[in-house]
Structure 1
Amino acid sequence: MDPPGPAGPSSSAPGGDAQAAQHHVQPLAQAQPQQQVAPAPAPPPPQLSRYESQKRRDWNTFLQYLRNHRPPLTLARCSGAHVIEFLKYLDQFGKTKVHAAGCAYFGQPSPPAPCPCPLRQAWGSLDALIGRLRAAYEESGHPPESNPFAARAVRIYLREVRDSQAKARGIPYEKKNRKRKQPAPPAPGEAASASSSAAAAAREEAAAAASGGDGSSGSAAAVAAPTSSQAGGSGGTTAAAPASKSRASNMGSAVRRHYFH
């Protein structure tokens, strides 16, 4: 009988294999790099409209003008006078020919030859610029009561620019009054033809009633005669006479039939 040999790996405890397997698997799991999920791309910003883009550029230009002002000027201290200075500063970048009072082409819309008169900002461009800056000022969180672009001095300046450019360039700026369209009255010929047709219809009714031969038809014609005279004007008076004559003749014939037959 062979003596029992030394205990091998198979004679170890049941939990030994699981610990050994975990010991071998754990380094493999640690060796694998963890996969990182990439963040979703941010949605693109909404595209601004042409008006909003132009308003933002105008607002940045005005703020840059305040920073370059001598002495430097803040937005809180800005007034209508500073806005007018800004508009005059923009005249050097204008493209509209405004003739001087002594120019030979003063007041001509289309001058035949060039002249040395300077270029200015057109009144329409300045008016639209002030409107955009006034909206941008309130959208930036400032109260409307302190809006320098809505000052009375700025409105007066724009009105003077409009009038002076209208005289220099020969372009009138007049408001068009919209009048309501009223129905045209009927022509005299149409009214006369309508009255004559009504009178003719009244005469036909009176003649048809007279040819009936009894008293009821004559009375109906007599009642219809005043109505036709009101509708037809002067033609209705001529139709009343035959109706009265037919009524008298019908009454006479009825009396003769009563007493002589």
Structure 2
Amino acid sequence: MSGERGVEGSSRWAAGDSQQPSPTPSRYESQKRRDWNTFGQYLRNQRPPVPLSQCNCSHVLDFLRYLDQFGKTKVHLQGCMFYGHPEPPAPCACPLRQAWGSLDALIGRLRAAYEENGGTPETNPFASSAIRVYLKEVRDSQAKARGIPYKKKKKKMAADHQQGQGSSDHSSSSTTIHFS
């Protein structure tokens, strides 16, 4: 039966029938569309409204700061007795913020959506160095406030691994596949 459905769908498409069901977008694509629409609404709600063509990294930074009020991650302030403690024993009055990982993923989706909606990589406000600096500051301050240092995972160099200079204390072996 699935074969019949596929043939029927392709013949409808070939005939130009607008009734063809569209495939369900992935979770990522759905979230990207929601994020894009939310950002567009944010720009329209500014006084005066900001057209997307005039959007810059300052608008993006303001949007990220605006989103902070809806965060769910406790970020201890420097004066808090739990500042730097990964698992505080009691509640405190420190604010809830957007988690760095959530902001980083959001910017990635908006960066892609900007270009999919006609923006050029050269003018993409989500790809600005100011945004990268802001995200790094958020990451570092949240890690410090929670007492969990952020450590970037280092990528293994393929050349080091092939020459046998990689770490020898691995408990599992790995296989390298080369494509030509």
Shift of 1:143: 1.1
Shift of 1:182: 4.2
Distance in 2, Cα, partners of 1:182 & 1:66: 53
Bigger Cα displacement from structure 2, 66-75 vs 169-178: 169-178
Within 5 Å, which residues of 2 pair with 1:44-83?
A: 44-83=21-60
Q: TM-score, normalised by structure 1?
A: 0.53
* Deviation sequence 1:94-148 (CA, Å, 0-9, x none): 0000000000000000000000001000000000000000000000111111000
Q: Which position in structure 2 is the counterpart of 1:171?
A: 148
Distance in 2, Cα, partners of 1:65 & 1:42: 33
Within 5 Å, which residues of 2 pair with 1:1-261?
A: 42-177=19-154, 178=156, 180-182=166-168
* Deviation sequence 1:185-207 (CA, Å, 0-9, x none): xxxxxxxxxxxxxxxxxxxxxxx
Q: Which position in structure 1 is the counterpart of 2:5?
A: none
Shift of 1:172: 1.1
Amino acid at match of 1:181: S
Secondary structure (helix, strand or coil) at the match of 2:152 reads: coil
Shift of 1:90: 0.2
RMSD of aligned alpha carbons: 1.7
Distance in 1, Cα, partners of 2:126 & 2:39: 11
Amino acid at match of 2:152: K
Secondary structure (helix, strand or coil) at the match of 1:157 reads: helix
Shift of 1:44: 1.3
**Contiguous gaps of at least 5 residues in structure 1:** 1-39, 184-261
* Higher normalized helix content (fraction of residues): 1
Which structure is richer in relative contact order (CA contacts within 8 A, separation 6 or more)? Answer: 2
Q: TM-score, normalised by structure 2?
A: 0.76
Distance in 2, Cα, partners of 1:110 & 1:48: 38
Distance in 2, Cα, partners of 1:95 & 1:74: 30
Distance in 2, Cα, partners of 1:66 & 1:182: 53
Count of aligned pairs: 144
Give the fraction of aligned pairs with identical amino acids, expressed as a percent. Answer: 69
Larger Rg: 1
Secondary structure (helix, strand or coil) at the match of 1:105 reads: coil
Shift of 1:181: 3.1
Amino acid at match of 1:105: F
